A and B are shown apart, each in its own frame.
Chain A
Amino acid sequence: MPASTTVEALRAAFPDAVVRDLVQSGDQQVVYIDPSRNAEVLDWLRTDPGERFNLLVDVTAVDYGDGRPLEVVYQLWSIPHRRALRVKCELPLSRLAIASVTALWSAANWLEREVYDLFGIEFRGHPDLRRILMPENYAEGHPLRKDFPLRGRFSRAEQTRRALSQDMEQYYMPDEMEGRGAPQLVPADESATSGSGSQGR
Chain B
Amino acid sequence: MGLSEQPAERLPVASSPPGGVLGAGTPTFLTTRLDFVVNWARRNSLWPMPFGTACCAIEMMAAAASNFDLARFGMERMSFSPRQADVLICAGRVPYKLAPVLRRIWDQMPQPKWAVSMGACASSGGVFDVYSMVQGIDTIIPVDVYVPGCPPRPEGLIYGLMMIQEKIREERLSEHGTLRAEDPAAVARARADAEEVLALSGPFGNSTRQNRVSGPTGSDASDRPDDRIP
Q: Chain A residues in contact with chain B, CB under 8 A?
A: 93, 120, 131, 133-135, 138-143, 145, 147-164, 166, 168
Interfacial chain A residues near B224, Cβ < 8 Å: 93, 147
Most buried by B among A133, A138, A150: A150
User: In the complex, what distance in Å separates the CA atom of A64 from the CA atom of B197?
Assistant: 33
A160 contacts B139, C-beta separation under 8 Å: yes
B140 contacts A151, C-beta separation under 8 Å: no
B100 contacts A147, C-beta separation under 8 Å: no
| Partner among B96, B192, B227 whose Cβ is within 8 Å of the Cβ of A141 | B227
B135 contacts A156, C-beta separation under 8 Å: yes
Interfacial chain B residues near A149, Cβ < 8 Å: 131, 209-210, 216-219, 221
A160 contacts B217, C-beta separation under 8 Å: no
User: In the complex, what distance in Å separates the CA atom of A142 from the CA atom of B230?
Assistant: 8
B96 contacts A160, C-beta separation under 8 Å: yes
Top 8 A-B residue pairs of the complex, sorted by shortest distance between their CB atoms: A152-B131, A141-B227, A157-B194, A163-B96, A156-B201, A163-B99, A157-B197, A150-B207
A147-B216 CB under 8 A given contacts A153-B228, A166-B97: no
Q: List 12 A-B contacts (CB under 8 A).
A: A138-B230, A140-B228, A149-B131, A149-B209, A151-B130, A151-B203, A152-B132, A156-B201, A158-B194, A159-B131, A160-B139, A160-B140
Q: Does B223 contact A (CB under 8 A)?
A: yes
Q: Does B103 contact A (CB under 8 A)?
A: yes
B181-204 interface bits toward A, Cβ cutoff 8 Å, 1 = contact, 0 = none: 000000011101111011001010
Interfacial chain B residues near A156, Cβ < 8 Å: 135, 139, 197-198, 201, 216
| Partner among A135, A151, A154, A163 whose Cβ is within 8 Å of the Cβ of B210 | A151
Interfacial chain A residues near B13, Cβ < 8 Å: none
A164 contacts B216, C-beta separation under 8 Å: no
Q: Does B1 contact A (CB under 8 A)?
A: no
Interfacial chain B residues near A151, Cβ < 8 Å: 129-131, 203, 207, 210, 216
User: In the complex, what distance in Å separates the CA atom of A163 from the CA atom of B140?
Assistant: 10
Interfacial chain A residues near B229, Cβ < 8 Å: 139
User: In the complex, what distance in Å separates the CA atom of A145 from the CA atom of B224?
Assistant: 11
B227 contacts A134, C-beta separation under 8 Å: no
User: Shortest distance in angstroms between B201's beta carbon and chain A's nearest beta carbon?
Assistant: 4
